[in-house]
Amino acid sequence: MKVLYFIAGPADKQQKQLAKETGALIRDSLAWHSGDYIEQCDAVLGEAPKPYQQFGFHEKQPEALALLGGEVAEPSLHELILNALSQLDQANDAHWTHAGLPNVKAVESILGLDITRADISAAAPEFRREV
């Protein structure tokens, strides 16, 4: 599993330790700019730029946020949906519509919440089944 750990500036000792524990590659979130190449990964940690959030957050995201010195906030519906989308099985037809969109019921099952197609589209407008 490829995990990118985004930190603004140099990583401190605790952040390096978390990266080592999770097998994450450290990236400077300040070095990424709109229009830059999006490095493919399976999950992200820390202060991931918005385009990277489509990959979903690693389960250690609360620890990564705590190391930033801020409050650990509950994930937003947007973040929860992105994480659920990253768990869909490309090979499982029940996870997808005929048009290649995520099946709302499959995403709800992962989340344990009732959502709508509009919620999914707002979180990841371009998310489709890989053909």
For the chain, give every domain's residue range: 3-67, 77-123
Q: Provide the H-helix boundaries in 1-131.
A: 13-22, 61-67, 77-86, 104-111, 117-123
Both tokens assigned to 127? 């998310």
Q: What does the pLDDT read at residue 130?
A: 86
pLDDT tens, 82-126? 888 989 999 999 999 999 999 999 999 988 899 999 999 999 999
Long-range own/partner contacts, residues 50-57 (CB < 8 A, 24 or more apart): 52/4, 52/6, 53/78, 53/79, 53/82, 54/82, 54/85, 54/124, 54/126, 54/127, 55/82, 55/86, 56/82, 56/83, 56/84, 56/85, 56/86, 56/87, 57/82, 57/83
pLDDT tens, 37-91? 899 999 999 988 888 999 999 998 888 888 876 544 567 888 889 888 989 999 9
Question: How far from the centroid of its chain's Cα atoms is residue 102's Cα?
Answer: 16
Q: Which helix (H) or strand (E) is 60 found in, with range?
A: none
A 10 A CB-CB count for 86 gives: 18
Both tokens assigned to 120? 């999914």
d(CA 5, CA 114) in angstroms, rounded, equals 30
The SS3 assignment for 28 reads strand
Q: Does pTM surpass 0.95?
A: no
Q: What does the pLDDT read at residue 72?
A: 47
Strand partners, 27: 6
